[in-house]
Amino acid sequence: MREQTVPAPEAGGGARQVELPEDRFAAELAFLASYDEGPRPPGWRLTPRAVVLFVCGTDGVPLTAPDGGKLAVSRKFVGDRSLVERCVVTLAGERGLLLVGEPGTAKSMLSELLAAAVCGTSTLTVQGTAGTTEDQLRYGWNYAMLLAKGPSRDALVPSPVLRAMTRGAVARIEEVTRCLPEVQDALVSLLSERRMSVPELAGGEDGDSTVHAAPGFTLIATANLRDKGVSEMSAALKRRFNFETVGPIDDLDAETALVRGQATAALARSGAGFSVDDTVLEALITAFRDLRTGRSAEGWEIERPSTVMSTAEAVQVATAMGLGAAYLGDGRDILRTLPGHLLGTVRKDDPADHARLLGYWDGPIRRRAETGAPLWRTLWELRDELG
């Protein structure tokens, strides 16, 4: 492990655990707004081409704005550029976008980035659960004002979706398939008619009881393929979305770089003062990819565990190992903690996955150790750590 200087926390509680993309990448968003002055869909902050550049980056190549300013845009989503382009075209057509895929494939992150680039905010979000109500998609009331003055627009408490409609912005629905059918059905009329009726306002001093969507309004939803959710989406609702599947990262180097960057950033936020060793990352990412696909890099068959060995989980394990070394380190090789962390990840869904992890140790790890590779020989010697 190598030491890293960590800035002191801001006074007065100003530091945040997680920054919104519109805040974290504000300089890039402002630059791209001036860089590409081409046509923009109604209500958009950036052109569709600039949105793709914001999400996918410029591979270190600086762009030159009309005013002479230069900036290399960072890559934020590690995935297929054509997928991002299709998502942007869907949003430009004001059609609903549904991102589906295995847990941990950055669906939520992609939806946040797209919303931040298109309308400047990623916060107009509803988290779908079995307890999500129709009011959370439509509106509620400030009951003190309601009792004092009766139904009025001042007493209305708009949902994030209703706020997005009035602003011409992007609303986000996380885990839409976990919502009950009546909640999902509320989206059908919103995406079809682009308006929301507020019958309580009918006949009141505010006049019109219908809220119409401003140009630019659309909706991004996410759903996990592993989690069937509380109810299946209706055919009517499915027809109002364009489906895009977000898959695992194909490239080993790209996944390693992503895990390294996110784990290092998490360690820096904690003040631990350590980054993640490349040797540990090599073993960690290789094991995750082997178990995720059911086949080793050498082509050996592996019995896949039932849990999802996602990149997001790999980031959490890398971060936990780094924190352990920083706070509890006693001079031991950090690689020795990897078996225990892998076991904790694999056994989340099914205790029988313990045996599958042992089979992985007795298969690919043993065979790699027999070739004399020091990394895998050390891991093979740690087999007893799995119990």
> DSSP letter string over 128-140?
--TT--GGGTSEE
Assess whether pLDDT exceeds 60 at residue 3.
no
Assess whether pLDDT exceeds 60 at residue 124.
yes
Assess whether pLDDT exceeds 60 at residue 287.
yes
The pTM of the full predicted model, rounded to 2 decimals, is 0.88
304 — pLDDT class (breaks 50, 70, 90): very high
Alpha carbon separation from 18 to 14, 75, 266, 305, 372 (Å, rounded): 12, 18, 10, 31, 42
Cβ pair 160, 125 in contact under 8 A: yes
Assess whether pLDDT exceeds 70 at residue 215.
yes
Assess whether pLDDT exceeds 90 at residue 18.
no
Give pLDDT, residue 118.
98
For the record, the structure tokens of 67 come out as 């005013």
Give pLDDT, residue 305.
93
Assess whether pLDDT exceeds 50 at residue 31.
yes
Give pLDDT, residue 68.
92
150 — pLDDT class (breaks 50, 70, 90): confident
Summarize the confidence of residues 277-302 as an average pLDDT: 92
Assess whether pLDDT exceeds 90 at residue 206.
no
Assess whether pLDDT exceeds 80 at residue 367.
yes
**Ranges 13-17, 97-101, 132-136, 201-205, most confident:** 97-101
Alpha carbon separation from 137 to 115, 167, 216, 295 (Å, rounded): 18, 16, 18, 43
Assess whether pLDDT exceeds 80 at residue 274.
no
Give pLDDT, residue 229.
56
SS3 257: helix
- Among 256, 254, 153, 161, residue whose Cα is nearest residue 209: 153
Condensed to tens digits (0 to 9), the pLDDT of residues 61-82 reads 999 999 999 999 999 999 899 9
Q: What is the DSSP letter of 337?
A: G
Q: What is the DSSP letter of 71?
A: E
